[in-house]
């Protein structure tokens, strides 16, 4: 006999129980009526959205989730629905999956392996399950596991020992570069060990700092991928199986994995799109300087939201080069975004005048530079408030790491698309986007980066070259390497000491920065948590 399962790779909103339920029911009806599927499988905790964080600690939220699941179950007929939900059992919360069949909850599986590293802290919220769940689907014994259960020995093997001939693994697996290869390698290890084929269903969309890339797949018992859904695209797709003594997936659509730079770009676009839309902003505004960071942020925002939803403000000062304004105007006009030119000189002069007596006899320093950045922050926040558009900050991970940014100035805003994007990757992304259609002027890419807050200023006046800075930051921030280890890798020890001191001393700034899209293995925020006040010194 043949078995057809629909993979529901969809985007859900955290906390929107009723809205998520409606999406589940609509997809279930479509899977039944259009795709003629016997079952439809949804991602991990899709009813609540992922991650629900401290909503799980609210009894009223869990009670409403229970009622909503019962309501969904009452409307399910003619198809099995496998749905992730937060379960309260004997007063205790579990990360669970329910099999809904003919108006009832037919079976429930409770996640065994609760991740508690990186961006995950599920042990804060859930108790682990311990029993397998194998149910009959059209005569085929099917086992259920949830996300981390696949990464550790135990749950998948237990389901196979309980007689499962097919495993459904539901996921909310966040994106970072090259994550798809890691997932498929882990799945292959489990599948080859048990000899049981696997259906891997992943969430899609953005949730605060996290982005979920989908890329759901089916793997046969030999470990070959026979189906793969597109990355970063909502999909409701059927997969077929030939069932006898064994269950064999029928080879079907196999979306090719995106090149790394393309997947990073799509992750950033997805993160911006969902943060803006899910928080109900009426578009986005950003400061456009003529530099590469703001140029890339502009094109990302435009690709995410559309040119009509993105507004730019050019704010030249006495130190702004004429080509910076010219390039910024060209970028906005090429994309079709509305822009304004508002010089900050009157505001800067006013502040200098107000402080003249108090600062008498004191030479200019970064104070005056920061005043300029804060003048711009005030203007941009005014646009954000008045027009109900989110302010996108344009700083990158390299700058955030070493504190090369001004609190309440260029750090002001609601979302930071490049927060986890190192400077060298900014250049690669700009080149990639220009390969699709020329948007960013080549001289913006080629010019030496500058904050333009004093005469002839260059980033390298204050920082090592990015070709040295970024590798040091990757080893220190993302890999927790010591100064000695980094120096042993070939970097000048004095530069390593200098950079790591800047990283440590600027934790207080990063705590006040807006959230941004996670695209590396270790981003600031959820991933990396260091004390601001610390006596530890290397």
Q: Which residues are catalytic?
A: 44, 111, 147
**Torsion angles phi and psi, residue 297, rounded to 5:** -60, -40
Alpha carbon of residue 451 to chain centroid: 27
**Is residue 370 part of an annotated ligand binding site?**
yes
For 251, which DSSP code? Answer: P
**Is residue 263 part of an annotated ligand binding site?**
no
For 390, which DSSP code? Answer: E
CA pseudo-torsion sign 155, 159, 165, 170: negative
CA-wise closest residue to 505 among 374, 398, 402, 369: 402
**Is residue 117 part of an annotated ligand binding site?**
yes
Q: Read out DSSP for 260-291?
A: HHHHHHHHHHHHHHHHHHHTT-S-EEEE--SS
Report whether 513 contacts 411 (CB < 8 A): yes
**Is residue 179 part of an annotated ligand binding site?**
yes
**Is residue 533 part of an annotated ligand binding site?**
no
For 241, which DSSP code? Answer: E
For 79, which DSSP code? Answer: S
The total of other beta-carbon atoms located within 10 Å of residue 333's CB is 10
Q: Where are the alpha helices (DSSP H) in 437-492?
A: 442-446, 466-473, 483-488
**Is residue 244 part of an annotated ligand binding site?**
no
**Is residue 289 part of an annotated ligand binding site?**
yes
Residue matched to tokens 């097919």:
166
Distance CA 7, CA 226 (A): 14
**Is residue 399 part of an annotated ligand binding site?**
yes
**Is residue 245 part of an annotated ligand binding site?**
no
**Is residue 24 part of an annotated ligand binding site?**
no
Encoded tokens for 416: 């930071």
Distance CA 387, CA 238 (A): 43
Q: Read out DSSP for 387-423?
A: HT-EEBP---HHHHHHT-S-TTTTT-SSB-TTTT--H
**Is residue 50 part of an annotated ligand binding site?**
no
Q: Which residues are annotated as a binding site for deamido-NAD(+)?
A: 370, 399, 509
Q: Which residues are annotated as a binding site for L-glutamine?
A: 117, 173, 179
Q: Which residues are annotated as a binding site?
A: 117, 173, 179, 287-294, 370, 394, 399, 509
């Amino acid at each position: 006999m043949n078995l057809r399962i629909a993979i529901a790779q969809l985007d859900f909103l955290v906390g929107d129980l009723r809205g998520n339920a409606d999406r589940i029911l609509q997809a279930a009806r479509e899977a039944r009526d259009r795709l003629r599927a016997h079952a439809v499988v949804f991602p991990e905790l899709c009813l609540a959205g992922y991650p629900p964080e401290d909503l799980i600690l609210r009894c009223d939220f869990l009670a409403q989730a229970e009622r909503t699941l019962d309501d969904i179950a009452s409307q399910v007929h003619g198809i099995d629905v496998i749905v992730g939900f937060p379960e309260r059992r004997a007063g205790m919360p579990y990360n669970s999956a329910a099999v809904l069949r003919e108006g009832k909850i037919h079976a429930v599986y409770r996640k065994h392996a609760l991740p508690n590293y990186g961006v995950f802290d599920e042990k804060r919220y859930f108790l682990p399950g311990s029993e397998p769940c194998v149910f009959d689907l059209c005569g085929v014994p099917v086992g259920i596991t949830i996300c981390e259960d696949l990464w550790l020995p135990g749950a998948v093997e237990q389901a196979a020992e309980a007689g499962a001939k097919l495993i459904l693994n539901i996921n909310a697996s966040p994106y970072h570069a090259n994550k798809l290869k890691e997932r498929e390698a882990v799945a292959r290890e489990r599948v080859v060990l048990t000899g049981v084929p696997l259906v891997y269903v992943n969430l899609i969309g953005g949730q605060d700092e996290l982005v979920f890339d989908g890329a759901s797949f089916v793997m046969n018992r030999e470990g070959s991928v026979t189906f793969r859904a597109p990355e970063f695209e909502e999909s409701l797709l059927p997969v077929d199986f030939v069932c006898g003594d064994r269950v064999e997936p029928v080879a079907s659509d196999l979306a090719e994995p995106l090149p790394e730079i393309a997947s990073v770009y799509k992750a950033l676009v997805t993160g911006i799109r969902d943060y803006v839309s899910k928080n109900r902003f009426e578009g986005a505004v950003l400061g456009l300087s003529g530099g590469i960071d703001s140029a890339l942020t502009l094109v990302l925002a435009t690709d995410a939201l559309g040119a009509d939803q993105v507004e730019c403000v050019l704010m030249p000062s006495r130190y702004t080069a004429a080509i910076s304004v010219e390039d910024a105007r060209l970028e906005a006009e090429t994309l079709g975004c509305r822009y304004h030119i508002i010089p900050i000189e009157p505001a800067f002069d006013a502040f200098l005048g107000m402080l003249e007596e108090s600062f008498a006899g004191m030479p200019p320093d970064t104070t005056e530079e920061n005043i300029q950045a804060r003048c711009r922050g005030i203007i941009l926040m005014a646009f954000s408030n008045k027009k109900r558009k989110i302010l996108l900050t344009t700083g990158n991970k390299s700058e955030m790491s070493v504190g090369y940014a001004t609190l309440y100035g260029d750090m002001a805003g609601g979302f930071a698309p490049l927060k986890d994007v190192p400077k060298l990757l900014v250049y690669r992304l700009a080149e990639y986007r220009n390969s699709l259609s020329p948007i960013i002027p080549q001289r913006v890419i080629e010019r030496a980066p500058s904050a333009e807050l004093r005469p002839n200023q260059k980033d390298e006046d204050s920082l090592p070259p990015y070709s040295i800075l970024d590798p040091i930051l990757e080893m220190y921030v993302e890999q927790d390497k010591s100064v000695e280890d980094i120096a042993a890798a070939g970097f000048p020890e004095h530069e390593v000491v200098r950079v790591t001191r800047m990283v440590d001393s600027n934790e207080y700034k990063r705590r006040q920065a807006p959230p941004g899209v996670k695209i590396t293995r270790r981003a600031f925020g959820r991933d990396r948590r260091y004390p601001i006040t610390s006596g530890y010194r290397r």
